[in-house]
């Protein structure tokens, strides 16, 4: 594999791990087993039948847990301690047998990328859970699964396209995460006030053009918990 393909595989594995670790592990193992790709030496363990079976079983568990409102948020919270270190390990292993400095760098970048994608997924799901109907959870979960499959396939077959898309995705996350965090904070404050744990947050009547979308969403959350 050339340098671009290795970078795409390393970052692709980390990116996918933050969204659905078990789908990423199974897909890499499956493609290695069927000969669609040659896994780096340190990732060949993913082709082991035991690893693939474990990944498939856990994917089935996540497939159902990820589609139940509130259960998906609990699942994401638990996997904060699983997806991020696993993403770092996969990214470091994907660069193969190189110098420790390069392997450590790949691990740091991969862990950071997995953390960002995991935070984006978990934050989005928490906001989706404010909706009373379950269909948005199903749609989001299925979209995420398809995104992992399509993203890894692109990383393996068209690495330059994947890296270009990844740059756009990272820029979108940089723009989105602070807004998600403000909305999540507001939701948690309303839940806390509803339970009597804290005071109800004050919402402003006006907002700047950059914050108009957040103000509208905050108002909808406020109306829901007031009712």
**Domains held by the chain: number:** 1
Lowest mean pLDDT among 129-138, 166-175, 205-214: 205-214
- Top mean-pLDDT range of 49-58, 72-81, 115-124, 182-191: 49-58
The answer to whether position 206 is within a domain reads no
Whether 185 is in a domain gets the answer no
34 inside domain: yes
Work out the average pLDDT over 159-169.
95
Whether residue 79 lies inside any domain: the answer is yes
Tell me if 227 is assigned to some domain: no
- Residue 122 inside a domain? The answer is yes
Segments forming the whole domain that contains residue 140: 3-170
pLDDT digits (tens, 9 = 90+) for 22-60: 999 999 999 999 988 888 889 999 999 999 999 999 999
Is the pTM above the cut of 0.75?
Answer: yes
In a domain, 156, yes or no: yes
pLDDT value at position 218? 53
Tokens 């139940």, located at residue: 68
178 lies in some domain: no
């Amino acid at each position: 594999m050339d340098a671009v393909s290795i970078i795409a595989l390393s970052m692709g594995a980390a990116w996918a791990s933050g969204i659905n670790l078990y789908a990423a592990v199974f897909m890499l193992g499956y493609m290695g087993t069927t000969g669609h790709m040659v896994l780096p030496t340190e990732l060949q363990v993913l082709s082991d039948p035991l690893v693939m079976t474990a990944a498939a079983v856990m994917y089935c568990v996540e497939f159902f847990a990820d589609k139940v409102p509130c259960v998906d948020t609990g699942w994401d919270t638990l996997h904060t301690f699983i997806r991020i270190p696993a993403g770092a390990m996969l990214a470091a292993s994907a660069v193969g047998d190189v110098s420790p400095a390069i392997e450590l760098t790949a691990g740091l970048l991969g862990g950071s990328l997995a953390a960002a994608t995991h935070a984006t997924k978990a934050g989005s799901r928490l906001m989706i859970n404010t909706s009373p109907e379950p269909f948005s959870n199903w749609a989001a979960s299925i979209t995420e699964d398809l995104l992992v499959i399509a993203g890894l396939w692109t990383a393996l077959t068209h690495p330059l396209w994947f890296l270009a898309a990844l740059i756009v995705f990272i820029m979108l996350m940089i723009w989105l995460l602070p807004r998600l965090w403000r909305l999540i904070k507001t939701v948690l404050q309303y839940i806390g006030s509803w339970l009597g744990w804290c005071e109800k947050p004050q919402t402003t009547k006006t907002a700047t053009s950059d914050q108009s979308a957040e103000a509208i969403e905050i108002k909808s959350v406020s109306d829901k918990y007031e009712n």
